[in-house]
Structures are given as C-alpha cells and as structure tokens.
Structure 1
Amino acid sequence: MTAVCLLDTSIFLEILNVPSKALQHEAIMAQLRERLLLKETLFLPMATILETGNHIGQNGDGRERRACAQRFVKQVSDALKGGSPFKPISFLSEKEMAIWLAEFPEHAATGSGLGDLSIMHDWKRLCSLHRGQRVYVWSLDVHLSAFDRAPEL
C-alpha cells in the first residue's frame, strides 16, 4: 500500500518557490514527483496553509508577494476542489480547538508552536485511520520529520 504524507510548511514553501524561504526548490520538486509516482496520499494541513500564507504575506517586495500569493491561492483552491495532488485536512471543530489550546502551554514550553501541535494531532488521527500504511510528516524540520510510523501488520 502507498504511504500517507502530511506536508509541513517548510515543504509547501519549497513547492511554491517562496522567495528567501525556498532554498531547495528543485530537489523538493523531484521528491514530490517521486511521491506522486508512488501514488502517496498527500495531505495539506490547515496549519501548513495558514503558516505558508503568513510567510508569503511578510516576504519580498509587493510584486514578488503578489505573484507568490497567486501561486499559493491556485494550489490551495485546487486542493479544496479536489483538482490537486494535495488533500486539505484539519478544519477544526470548537471541541478540537479547546483540546489543542489546553495542551498548548506545555507544548509551547518545548519551543514549538500551535501549528506544529496541530500537525502532530493530524498525524495521530491519520495513523489511527490508516493502520496498514506508512504515515509520516514530510518536513525539513527535524522534530516534525520524526513523525514517521511504519505500517502496522
């Protein structure tokens, strides 16, 4: 069976080739092509969407920001319509947000943000839903890339 992959912000920034944030665009695009050939399921967490949008909005000159924002809107819109290799995930309920907020002070004390906490919860949920598949976070950040569970037999 194919793997289940959650994209972290560090990867989405590379895919979108965000100025001053994308340092490995060609290598990441090659890795993306490989994942697509393997027919991996690629999830785009809400935290990744929001964090990437923030990076774009605070980056470069107005022309660069606009061009990058247009690429971002196209990718996310296509994902929302099912016309992309990425599937959006994590449209939170009030109950889920309350649980995450309760965990956040302890999580923040480790130096990690709410976005990473939400991706960790997405990963746990996908692990329980896809027991027979590898479930992992594709990230350039060491602490998130450690979330990689082999298929359960």
Structure 2
Amino acid sequence: MARRVEFVDTSILCNLLGIPGKCQDRDQVVKEYQAKTRARDCDLLLPVTAIIETGNHIAQLADGRQRKDCAELFAAMLRAVVQGDAPWALNEVEWDGAHLQALLAGGRTGSTLVEHACNRLGCGDLNILIERDRYLARTSGVAATVWTLDGLLSSYA
C-alpha cells in the first residue's frame, strides 16, 4: 500500500489554529486531525500558499492579543514541520520556471490558470494542486490528496 500524504489547505490551518473569524469548523477539523495523528498512516504537508495565506489572516486580526497568540501557535506548527515532527512533513518547493509553467497550464486539472480564475478557483488553490502534482512527479510509492473544506478545491483534490 502506498504511503499517504495530504497537502493541508488554509481552511484547515485556520481551524487548527483557532483563528478568530476563520474557524467555524474547528471541532470537526480538530477531530479529523486527532484521528490522523492517532492512525499515523498519513503525513501532512504545508503548501507555500497555505502558509502565506494563514500568516496573512493572523496578521489581519484586529485584537493584538489574539494576533500574538495565533502567531505563536503558527510558529510552533512551522517549527514542527521543519523538524519533521509527526504528522508533519516538509515539502520542499522549487519556485522556478517549471513551477510557473505548470501553474499557467493548470497542472493536471485540464484547465488553465485563466480558465480557473474565470470559474473562481483562485491562484492560491491552484498552486496547492501544482505543489501536489510536482511532489507526486518526484516521489514514488505515495498517494497524495488535499485536505480542505473548500468545495471547489476539493473537487480537484
């Protein structure tokens, strides 16, 4: 059986971190996270897009105490990723011409970046799919999906 990895979307990170105004599904996401952690059958990878978007959501919090608390939790999560603490694993992304070409082409989705934009799939979500595709291209014996609460993104995940 192939090793499983899941690319974690911003919607999941916001719920795991309890970011005010962005964590309506926190109980459900925390339960899923705990189940994944207990099962130890899946590595979680943070795409660049999810890291940047989550950091922006934290920075935009009006309450300074909430902003600091969320930023500290987020920093601890990122340290766990760097250290490879289960269930987290590091996905090293090469941001180069090939990555941008894949983004423009829409990867394996069958639609271009422009077509996705017209259909309301954002560049960030598309980039998560490209990261997953490129990860699969350089890794063998792995099944990779995207863990998201976003309906449109999950249709491609």
Query: Above 0.5 in TM-score?
Result: yes
2:36 matched residue in structure 1? 35
SS at match of 1:137: strand
- Structure 2 distance, partners of 1:106, 1:147, is 14
Unaligned runs of 5+ in 1: 149-153
1:79 matched residue in structure 2? 81
How big is the shift at 1:90? 5.0
Comparing 46-55 with 114-123, which one deviates more in the overlay? 114-123
Paired residues, number:
148
Cα gap change, 1:125 to 1:101, in 2 (>3 Å)? closer
- Structure 1 distance, partners of 2:102, 2:21, is 31
Contact 2:18 2:26 in 1 (8 A): yes
- Asked if 1:142 corresponds to 2:116, the answer is no
1:50 to 49, 52, 57: 52
Contact 1:4 1:135 in 2 (8 A): yes
Contact 2:8 2:146 in 1 (8 A): yes
SS at match of 1:80: helix
Same amino acid, percent of matched pairs:
31
TM-score of the superposition, structure 2-length normalised?
A: 0.81
Contact 2:103 2:127 in 1 (8 A): no
How big is the shift at 1:36? 1.8
TM-score of the superposition, structure 1-length normalised?
A: 0.82
Cα gap change, 1:101 to 1:147, in 2 (>3 Å)? closer
- Structure 1 distance, partners of 2:69, 2:56, is 15
1:117 to 126, 138, 144: 126
- Structure 1 distance, partners of 2:49, 2:150, is 15
